[in-house]
Amino acid sequence: MMKRRSISVCCVGDVVLRDDDEGPVLGLARHVLREADISFGNCESSYSTRPVRNGAAGSAEGIIAHPRNLAVLADAGFNVMTFANNHHMDCGDNAFFDTLDGLKAHGIATCGAGRNIAEAREPAIIERDGTTVAFLGYSSILFPGFAAGPRAPGCAPMKIHTYYRQSEEEQPGSPGVVETVPDADDLRALQADVEKAKARADIVVVSPHWGIHFKPVEISPYETVVARAAIDAGADLVFGHHPHIMKGVQVYKGKAIVHSLGNFAFALADMVKRGNWNTPNPTPRRLLYRKLYGEYVMNYYPDSPVYPFHPDARRVGICRFTVADGRIASVSILPCYINARGQPEPLHAGHERFEEVASYLQEISAGAGFETRFTQQGDELLIET
């Protein structure tokens, strides 16, 4: 039997491209994505000229961009993207369909969302020189009506139930303990999807939109339950996104679970200009965010005028794994840093920021209770599995 050549796959977090961002946002990372055999990311925006604000969405405004940005995504090297997140239906059905159709027209396969639940659960399978990689997308961060149904468009849901109990059994009013439990039906469906995908592909990547946004270190317990269930069903890698800040990495049965590598391309120049972030009369939602997340809530930073996230959220990364003979041979993190123009810059080992990002990743992984070890190899941090 002829030995297949090894292939490389890059995975990144949230991607939003808007026309009036300052400079080519993907310009510094483009070569890394294009050199990979497959590059994957989370499509966090609709691309359409037909937005209709979806009243079910709780964000202040829908995330929408012009369809001409899709050509930039393709040129940057993206081959496949998940559209399962909390913004895919922000701007209505027309924008949702325009985005799926536009990505396909630019040669970018999609997973996690579709015209019905069957289509949303269908994996995107990419073949390179005899090796097949399947991508499945899900979202636990959902507004009402954003999940796909038998005859309704939307994303593949991985719903989570939240319960609160008092910390002192006999003491009413004591601080609440939060418990998060995956929906049993959704979890069974996810495992069935993984098993089916594994029968069709060498490698299965499960990509959930999950976790608590803005909050450093903390991992919701349900994330581990969902990730391990996916791996038990046959997934080879779990790559998450949504929190807008880097979270820890854990290893289960020799498989990596990357909870979040933060934003990737998320410059929001026009929203920052319009947002009046420091208004003395904030909306109730912004007041809530300030109460829950303090300094980590989105804000305006003079030294980062297009990227309205806490300085800790400028530490991001690219997950790169290699596949040899149908198996994952290695998984690594390429440290990156969001510069003043909102660009993710891949860092070389000698760069002053490289050790900063590397140390932060180790610190937050340990802080989440994971015993993950990283070994530096050149410009990458190899996850010891």
pLDDT of the chain, 385 residues: tens digit per residue: 556 789 999 999 999 998 765 568 999 999 999 999 999 999 999 999 998 887 776 555 678 899 999 999 999 999 999 999 999 999 999 999 999 999 999 999 999 999 999 999 999 999 999 999 999 999 999 999 999 999 999 999 999 999 999 999 999 999 999 999 999 999 999 999 999 999 999 999 999 999 999 999 999 999 999 999 999 999 999 999 999 999 999 999 999 999 999 999 987 766 666 655 566 667 787 788 888 999 998 888 889 888 989 999 999 999 999 999 999 999 999 999 999 999 999 999 999 999 999 999 999 999 999 999 999 999 999 999 9
Using an 8 Å Cβ cutoff, are 256 and 385 in contact?
Answer: yes
d(CA 15, CA 143): 20
Using an 8 Å Cβ cutoff, are 21 and 271 in contact?
Answer: no
- Count: domains in the chain: 1
Using an 8 Å Cβ cutoff, are 81 and 40 in contact?
Answer: yes
Q: Domain residues for 122?
A: 7-383
HEC letters along 68-121: CHHHHHHHHCCCEEECCCCCCCCCHHHHHHHHHHHHHHCCCEEECEECCHHHHC
In a domain, residue 101? The reply is yes
In a domain, residue 61? The reply is yes
Length of the chain: 385
Question: CATH number, domain at 160?
Answer: 3.60.21.10
In a domain, residue 203? The reply is yes
In a domain, residue 234? The reply is yes
- 131-139 vs 124-128, strand pairing mode: antiparallel
In a domain, residue 1? The reply is no
In a domain, residue 320? The reply is yes
